[in-house]
A and B are shown apart, each in its own frame.
Chain A
């Protein structure tokens, strides 16, 4: 069964450093998403991406965050200057159609120290 692949599975970074979280969505999918889950809290929407542009973003997704689909297969989330409160599990997801259940990746655990 096709899957969404995320790398790395765990990233530790120092506060103030830039991180890039990588995702390979399912190959024929058209809609791409990032969500995150801070330990003990809800899964929260960050951003959706379609047709090479952001279609929606949450208030969490401020100027420190950016997304890119640099080639036909990768979808990346960049955090420019990490803060302690960015520590969370980050999930990438993709879908073929707008309505329906997304396929989520296994997540990247980001720890900011």
Chain B
């Protein structure tokens, strides 16, 4: 079951630059998308979400873009900070039923 895919297992970005994390999905019924951040030995922490009726949502340094025709979403973090180093998961749901998670991308911010 690969309905939500994060093809980059890891990403390194210099501090102050933009981090772009990508996520693709196959289920066209998904109507709500979320990004979570996870530190070791902690649970996922909700970052930002977007409904399928929008193509962009912004919250401080975090912006999520949704391209429904390409079934692709991305998370932009700008500027990247050392505390942003974590594993980032995208997740999707249909009518906010269960979340289907991607496999995660480990983001490392290089000072």
Which residues 71-107 of A have a CB within 8 angstroms of B? 91, 93, 98-107
Min CB gap A48→B, angstroms: 6
In the complex, which of the residues B41, B44, B49, B96 contacts A43, with contact meaning CB atoms closer than 8 Å?
B44
A65 at the interface (CB under 8 A from B): no
CB within 8 Å for A48 and B97 given contacts A91-B43, A105-B43: yes
Contact across chains for A45 and B32 when beta carbons are under 8 A apart? no
A27 at the interface (CB under 8 A from B): no
Number of residues in B with C-beta < 8 Å to the partner?
Answer: 22
In the complex, which of the residues A45, A102, A106 contacts B41, with contact meaning CB atoms closer than 8 Å?
A106
Contact across chains for B43 and A45 when beta carbons are under 8 A apart? no
Contact across chains for B32 and A99 when beta carbons are under 8 A apart? yes
Contact across chains for A56 and B98 when beta carbons are under 8 A apart? yes
A58 at the interface (CB under 8 A from B): yes
Interface mask (B81-99 → A, CB under 8 Å = 1, otherwise 0): 0000000010100001111
A48 to B49, CA, bound (A): 20
Contact across chains for B96 and A104 when beta carbons are under 8 A apart? no
B77 at the interface (CB under 8 A from A): no
Min CB gap A13→B, angstroms: 20
Min CB gap B49→A, angstroms: 6
Which residue of B34, B45, B98 has the most chain A CB atoms within 10 A of its CB atom? B98
Which residue of A33, A41, A102 has the most chain B CB atoms within 10 A of its CB atom? A102
Beyond contacts A35-B99, A43-B89, A44-B101: 13 other A-B pairs, Cβ-Cβ < 8 A, are A4-B43, A41-B103, A43-B99, A48-B97, A56-B97, A58-B98, A98-B96, A100-B46, A100-B49, A101-B46, A101-B47, A104-B44, A107-B41
Residues in chain B within 8 A of chain A (CB atoms): 32, 34, 36, 41-47, 49, 89, 91, 96-104
Q: Give the 9 A-B CB pairs with smallest separation, nearest first.
A: A101-B46, A104-B43, A45-B98, A99-B96, A43-B101, A104-B44, A98-B96, A42-B101, A91-B43
Residues in chain A within 8 A of chain B (CB atoms): 4, 6, 33, 35, 41-45, 48, 56, 58, 91, 93, 98-107
Query: Can you spell out 16 A-B residue pairs with CB atoms less than 8 angstroms apart?
Result: A41-B103, A42-B102, A42-B103, A42-B104, A43-B91, A45-B98, A45-B100, A56-B97, A58-B98, A91-B44, A101-B49, A104-B43, A104-B44, A104-B46, A106-B41, A107-B43
